[in-house]
Chain A
Amino acid sequence: MTVSPTFLQWLLGAVTLALALLVILGRNPVVSAISLMGTLFSTGLIFFSVGAQFVGAVQILIYAGAISVLFIFVVMLLDLRPTRVRIPGRAPVYVFSFVVCALFFVAAILSVLPVLRNLGAIEILGLSEAGLDQGPVAISMQLLSKYMIPFQATALLLLAAVMGVVVLGKKNMLSERKQSEQK
C-alpha cells in the first residue's frame, strides 16, 4: 500500500534526521545522548503518523522513556569533556576503516533502495500485513503464534546478555579480591 506522505510526516522525517545527525556530529556527549532521545521520540511520532499507534507508544515508552535515560545517566556521570574523535593508528588503518564504512553505507543504501526508488511515497512496509496498525490485540496474536520462536529467542538473548554482564562484572571483582588477598 502506498500513500504520499503528508506535510507533518515530511517534517517529522526531517526532524528525526537532523537529530540523528546531531547525535554523531555533536561534540558534547551529553548533547549527543539527548539528541538520541529526541531521535527515538520522533521515530515514535512517525509510527503514530502512519497509524501504528501501539508500536509508536511502545517505541516512546521503552526507547525514548527508559533506555535513553540510562544512556544520559551514564554519560553525565562519566563527566566526558567535549572531544574530537581521532582514529588511532597509521594510513593502512585509515584505508581499512574507510573501506569498511563505505561497504556498510552501500549495504544500508541497498536495503532502503525499494523505498528510495519511489521517493515521495511512503511504502508502509508490511505494517498492515503484520497487523501492526491493528492495535495491541492483533499484535499479541501475531507475536504469540506466528512469531513465537523469534519472540522467545529474543527473550533468551536478552537473558544471556544480562548474565554476560553479571559474569563480566563478577570476574573483575573476583580477580580484585584475589589480588587483595595475595597482598
Chain B
Amino acid sequence: MSQLLWSSLLVPVLCAFLLTWIPVMLIVERRAAAWMQRRSGPNRVGPWGLMQPMSDAIKMIFKEANIPRKAHRILFVLAPALAVLPPFLAMIVIPLGGSVNINGQEYALQAFNVNVGLLFYLAITSLHVYSVLTAGWASNNKFSLMGGLRASSQMISYEIAIGICIVSLVMTYGTLDLREIVKLQEAGAGLPAWGFALQPIVFIVLWVCTFAETNRLPFDLPEGESELVAGYHTEYSGMTFGMFMLGEYAAMVAASAFLATLFLGGYNIPFVSEEALRQVFLDQGLHLTLASAATALLQFACLILKICFFMWVFVWVRWTLPRFRYDQLMDLGWKILLPIGVANVIGTMIVTYFLKRGG
C-alpha cells in the first residue's frame, strides 16, 4: 500500500469525523446554554431533544437560499464555500494517532505528513478571513460590510499575536513538524512534558487568540447581533447560512485539535507510551497490525477527549462572558497579547540559550 493510497483512505474518514462534530455541537451548545441560563432548551424533538440538529439540518436544506438582487452573485455563493474549506484542509496535518503497522510498514494516522505542519495549519486557517470578507462585501448590505471589515481587521490583528506565540513555541520544541512535536511530548510519559507546562503563557495567549480567530464570543463582533443584525451573514438564508455555521464549528474543532496537539500532548495517552500500549496488545496474542491499529484508535479516542475539553470551554465561555467593545478587542490584541508574546519570545531565547550551553 502506497502512502498516497493510505492518505486518500484517511481523508474521507477525516471529513466524516469533522462533520460528525457539527450536529453534536449544535445540541450541546443549545442544551448547555439552556442549562446555564436555567431554562429547558430544545427538548421536544426526540429523547432529550437529541433529534433537534437533524430537524435543523432538514430545515436548512429545504429552505430557499435567497440571493439578494443587488448582491454580487458569484462571490455571494463562493463565500460560504470558502468558510468550510479552510478547517477541513487544516485538519489534514493534525496527527490523529500513532502509526499502524501494515506488512512491516508504519503508516501514520495523519493524512498529510508535512515537515512544516505548524506553518501549514496557520497558513490555511489564515484563509478563513476571506469567507467573512467576501460575504460581507458581496451581500451589498451595510451591516454585512461592517461585519466583514470588523472580521478582517480582528483576524489580522490576532494573527500577529499568534505568530509571535508560535515563535517561542518553535524555539521550545525546535521543530515545525506537528508529529514530532507530539512525539516530543510523549518523552516524559506524563504531564510535565506537555506543552502547557513548558510554555504556560503561550498556552493562555494562543487560547485567547483562538477565540478571536474563530469569531466566537466574547470576540464575535463580526456578527454582533445587537449592533449589526447578524453581521456578515445577514443576507444569507437556508443552506448558504448553514455552511457558515458548519464552517464555524469545523474551525472550532480544527482549532481545538491544534491546541491539543501543541499543548496537551496531542494523541498521547498520559503515562502510557505508544510502545508500551502496543506491547500490551501484543501480549494478548494480537497480530502486529491489529495491535498497532488498536493502539492508534485508543490514542485517537484520547485526542477526541482533549478536543471535547476545548470545545466545552468554547461553549462555556460563550454563555459566560459578554461581548467586548471593538476598541477593547483591539487593545487586548495589540497592547496586551502582543507585548506578552514578545516578552515571552525574549524570555524563551534566554532560557534556551543557557539550557543549550549547559547541556
Task: Give A contacts to B, CB under 8 Å.
Answer: 28, 30-31, 34, 37, 41, 44, 48, 53-54, 57-58, 60-61, 64-66, 69-70, 72-73, 76-77, 135-136
Per-residue interface assignment for chain B, residues 119 to 151, with 1 indicating a CB less than 8 Å from any chain A CB and 0 otherwise = 110111011011001100100000001001100
Q: How far is the CB of A8 from chain B (nearest CB, A)?
A: 11
Residues of B close to A53: CB separation below 8 A: 114-116, 120
Given contacts A61-B123, A61-B126, A69-B129, contact A54 B152 (CB under 8 A): no
Residues in chain B near residue A44, CB distance under 8 A: 123
Contact status B152-A73, CB under 8 Å: yes
Indicate whether A69 sits within 8 Å of B119 (C-beta atoms), given known contacts A34-B130, A34-B134, A53-B114.
no
- Closest Cβ of chain A to B153, distance in Å, is 8
Interface majority SS (helix, strand, loop, mixed), chain B: helix
Q: In the assembled complex, how far is the CB of residue B319 from the closest CB belonging to chain A, in whole angstroms? A: 31
CB distance from A98 to the nearest CB of B (A): 33
Q: Which residues of B are in contact with A by a Cβ distance under 8 Å? A: 72, 74-75, 114-116, 119-120, 122-124, 126-127, 129-130, 133-134, 137, 145, 148-149, 152-153, 155-156, 159, 176
Q: State how many angstroms separate the Cβ of A92 from the closest Cβ of chain B.
A: 39
Neighbour of B130 across the interface among A37, A48, A60, A77, CB < 8 A: A37
Q: In the complex, what residue of chain A is closest to B163 when comparing beta carbons?
A: A61
Q: Known: A66-B156, A76-B149. Is A60-B123 also a contact (CB below 8 A)?
A: yes
B116 CB contact (under 8 Å) in A57, A65, A77 = A57
CA distance A135 to B118 in the complex (A): 12
CA distance A29 to B317 in the complex (A): 40
Q: Which residue of B lies closest to A58 (CB)?
A: B119
Q: Which residues of B contact A72 (CB under 8 A)?
A: 130, 133, 152
Q: B137 contacts which chain A residues (CB < 8 A)?
A: 30, 76
**Residue in contact with A66 in the complex, picked from B119, B149, B159, CB distance below 8 Å:** B159
On chain B, the residues within 8 Å of A65 by CB distance are: 122-123, 126-127, 129, 159
Q: With A and B bound together, what is the CA distance between A135 and B177 in angstroms? A: 10
Q: Give the complex CA separation of A76 and B137 in angstroms.
A: 7
User: Measured between alpha carbons, how far is A61 from B176 in the docked complex, in Å?
Assistant: 14
Query: Main SS of the interface on chain A?
Result: helix
Decide if A64 touches B127 in the complex (CB within 8 Å): yes
Residues of chain A contacted by B149 (CB below 8 angstroms): 73, 76-77
Q: How many angstroms between the C-alpha atoms of A73 and B152 in the bound complex? A: 8
Of A30, A57, A70, A77, which one neighbours B120 at CB under 8 angstroms? A57
Asked if residues B133 and A60 are in contact (CB atoms below 8 Å), the reply is no
Chain A residues whose CB sits within 8 angstroms of the CB of B119 once the complex forms:
54, 57-58, 61, 136
Bound together, the chains give a CA A73 to CA B130 distance in angstroms of 10
Please, which residues of chain A bring their CB within 8 A of the CB of B159? 65-66
Given pairs A54-B176, A76-B145, 16 additional interface contacts (CB within 8 A)? A31-B72, A31-B75, A34-B134, A41-B127, A54-B115, A54-B119, A57-B116, A57-B120, A61-B126, A64-B123, A65-B123, A69-B130, A70-B156, A76-B137, A135-B176, A136-B176
Q: How far does the Cβ of A15 sit from chain B's closest Cβ, in whole Å?
A: 15
A58 to chain B, nearest CB (A): 7
List chain B residues, Cβ under 8 A from A54.
115-116, 119, 176
Query: CA A65 – CA B119 in complex, angstroms?
Result: 12
Q: Which of B137, B145, B156 has the most CB of A within 10 A?
A: B137
Name the residue of chain B whose CB is nearest to the CB of A73: B152
Q: What's the Cα separation between A37 and B137 when bound, in Å?
A: 16
- Pick the contact of A135: B72, B116, B126, B155 (CB < 8 A): B116
Min C-beta distance of B150 to chain A, whole Å: 11
Give the residues in chain B near A30, CB-CB below 8 Å. 72, 75, 137
- A78 to chain B minimum Cβ distance, whole angstroms, is 12
B114, B123, B134 pick with most chain A CB within 10 angstroms: B123
A31 CB contacts on chain B under 8 angstroms = 72, 74-75
Q: Which residue of A lies closest to B174 (CB)?
A: A137
Q: Please give the distance in Å from B167's CB to the nearest CB on chain A.
A: 12
B86 CB to closest chain A CB, in angstroms? Answer: 10
By a CB distance below 8 angstroms, the chain A residues around B133 are 69, 72-73, 76
The answer to whether A69 touches B115 (Cβ under 8 A) is: no
* CA gap between A80 and B264 in the complex, in Å: 48
CA distance A112 to B49 in the complex (A): 63
Q: In the complex, A34→B72 CA distance in Å?
A: 13
Contacts of B148 in A (CB 8 A): 76
